[in-house]
Amino acid sequence: MSMPAKFRAALHDFGGGNADGALLVKVPARVNIIGEHADYNDGFVLPMSTALFTWATASPRDDRKIRVTSHNVGATCLFELDGIQPGESFSWVEYVKGVAAELEDLGIVLCGADILIDSDIPLGAGLSSSASLELAVAKALLSIAGERVPEPDLAKLCQRAEQRYAGVQCGIMDQYTLNCAKEGHAILLDCRSLEVAQIPIPSEMGFIVTDCGVKHRLPDGQLNSRADECVAAVEILVRDGQEIESLRDLRTDILEANRTALGDVLYRRCRHVLTENERVQSAVQALENGELQDLGTLFDACHASLRDDFEVSCDELEALVSAANASTGVFGSRMVGGGFGGCVLSICRSDDATEVAKEIRANYASVTGKEAWQHIVEPAKPARVISRA
């Protein structure tokens, strides 16, 4: 597949030589059908990839330096491979530094490289732009070094990079999906065992992603605070004698018996994780049976739980969900990603997706005056190197 015209032009400006012969990596975006804030609680998630991409091209250097340019950010950073340390404040280059550091920690001796990154995945929209960047860099550096890391292990490596260098207490869902999900399939991922079942997406199901226009920045701490609250809840339950390792092990009887000890906030955080794991299992059945209405009902319940129990919504997300659900042909809608902004996912019949998307956009504009970015989900292959010099 040829690279996008804008990326070819950026590569020429970058000085990357012959664009047709460059090492080129292509990594899709991630859309989570259901299972929000379950991954870092060892729970179940049901994500899929879609045809929005991060592209990376790379060429070797004669030294031990990484020069990385982001066409999206309009910035270039240079760092040494020896003695990599996290920066004092968050920057996009921390994702790149983290991946390089984790690869070297595996005992892989990397070469210096010039890397150019470009992406059509909206930043801060809940579509896994950060994990896509991590995997693009990882595959580029590995290819230059002539090394390989198995896909599941590479996903875990990129997760560690995000946690240690970007400071985000993320789960494994994003990296695993982008590296392991088959084209046209969702994956039912057990985030504790990393067991995977590939679930075909019925052709009659259409999914529309609409951006509310509010960008979230996960390292600002809101996602981390929810993760910390989940850990605190587990500590309370363990002190009470419950044999659980994470909220994945929670049952309704345990939750209700410890409602007073947990307090209102932690009780509701636990209730979201418990019921979300149940919704994931129900969603698998809806996919396998082609039940659009059932899946739409689960979307609505998921959104209500994220809004009321996990408290990760915002006014713009609420307005967009209402606008989407008021549109003809929509079976249900919910926020996707970490929350506090980003996108809404709606389900409709695939044949109706284009017209439904237009109505969602019009409804949202009539309420907010904002023209929303949209994407109709399309099948995509997992992260891969698609050409080499």
User: What was the pLDDT predicted at 17?
Assistant: 43
User: What was the pLDDT predicted at 126?
Assistant: 83
Say if CB 59 and CB 23 are below 8 A apart: yes
Both tokens assigned to 280: 């994931």
Both tokens assigned to 214: 């509010």
Say if CB 78 and CB 65 are below 8 A apart: yes
pLDDT in tens, 213-252: 987 655 455 667 899 999 999 999 999 899 999 999 999 9
Both tokens assigned to 200: 């075909």
| Catalytic residue annotation | 174
User: What was the pLDDT predicted at 222?
Assistant: 64
For tokens 């960047």, name the residue: 133
- Domains of the chain in start order, with CATH, are 5-200+379-387 (3.30.230.10), 205-376 (3.30.70.890)
DSSP per position, 281-332:
HHHHHHHHHT-HHHHHHHHHHHHHHHHHTS----HHHHHHHHHHHTSTT--E
CA proximity to 282, closest of 270, 295, 273? 295
User: What was the pLDDT predicted at 174?
Assistant: 94
Q: Is the pTM of this model over 0.85?
A: yes
| Alpha carbons within 13 A on the beta-carbon side of 231 | 8
310: alpha, beta or left, given left = phi > 0 and alpha = psi -120 to 50?
alpha
- CA atoms of 8 and 215, how far apart (whole Å): 27
User: What was the pLDDT predicted at 43?
Assistant: 97
Say if CB 135 and CB 383 are below 8 A apart: yes
User: What was the pLDDT predicted at 184?
Assistant: 96
CA proximity to 296, closest of 245, 344, 359? 344
User: What was the pLDDT predicted at 389?
Assistant: 46
Say if CB 286 and CB 199 are below 8 A apart: no
Task: Name every residue whose Cβ is closer than 8 Å to that of residue 181 and which is 6 or more positions away in sequence.
Answer: 47, 48, 49, 187, 198, 382
The list of the chain residues with pLDDT below 70 reads 1-22, 216-223, 388-389
- CA atoms of 375 and 50, how far apart (whole Å): 9
